[in-house]
Amino acid sequence: MTTTRFCIVRHGETDWNIERRHQGHLDIALNDLGRRQAMAAADGLAGQHFDSAYTSDLGRTRATAETIAQHLGLAVYDEPGLRERHYGIFQGRTVDEVAAIDPESHDRYRARDLDHDFGGGETLRGFARRVIQTVERLAAEHVGQTLLLVTHGGVLDVIYRHAHGRDLVSARDFVIPNAAFNWLQAGPDGWHVLVWADREHLQRALDEVA
């Protein structure tokens, strides 16, 4: 085979996800639902074969990845290139809170300005370059294999756009749920989304709790 197959999973839910508070590089733990989502993801991937597993080196992703990897008998490796974007002054704040203290940054965030760093964070252009370089490198290093990646919503946003040849500045019109399965394939003819935002395993887990 000349292709590399990926299952890319966003970390389980955190309290800041509920509050719509930017986490960025801040280390926020999974909440109770997030831990259950990680377990559901582990159950949902039972029987799947993975050659390697990589995770962002932040706590919420590593906790999700370790839960899955333990059930699959995998070692999991830190990959800092899969970190969420550094949001500068947005980190620890909601969009409305930033609007109150820095209207210019708020407006540039809304416009998806490619070159604004929000006061010491990453530009969208630089963040996307980092993410694409990371996944392209992993694809090249693991040709013919299937990889599990555990990462963040912003990273998945970039990967989805890259696979579809879409720009970075248009509004997001696709969902990126916590702990959903996103299956992609990379090869000589580029990247292709096979399945996006598969949440069947999460629904089964909720039904079992109910």
Residue 176 amino acid letter? I
For residue 130, give the nearest of 88, 160, 159 by alpha carbon. 159
| Catalytic residue from among 13, 79, 84, 122 | 84
Is 97 a known active-site residue?
no
Measured CA to CA in angstroms, residue 1 lies from 51, 146, 170, 185, 189 at distances of: 14, 11, 34, 11, 13
- b (16+ CB within 10 A) / e for 153-185: bbbbbbbbbbbeeeeeeeeeeeebbbbbbbebb
Partner residues linked to 94 by β-bridges:
21
Q: How many helices (H) and strands (E) does the chain have?
A: 8, 6
DSSP states along 37-84? HHHHHHHHTTT---SEEEE-SSHHHHHHHHHHHHHHT--EEE-GGGPP
Backbone angles phi, psi at 4, to 5 degrees: -120, 135
Our answer to whether residue 84 is catalytic in this structure is yes
CA distance 68 to 190: 28
The active-site residue out of 11, 86, 106, 116 is 11
* Rounded-to-integer distance, Cα 109 and Cα 90, Å: 10
Active site residues: 11, 84
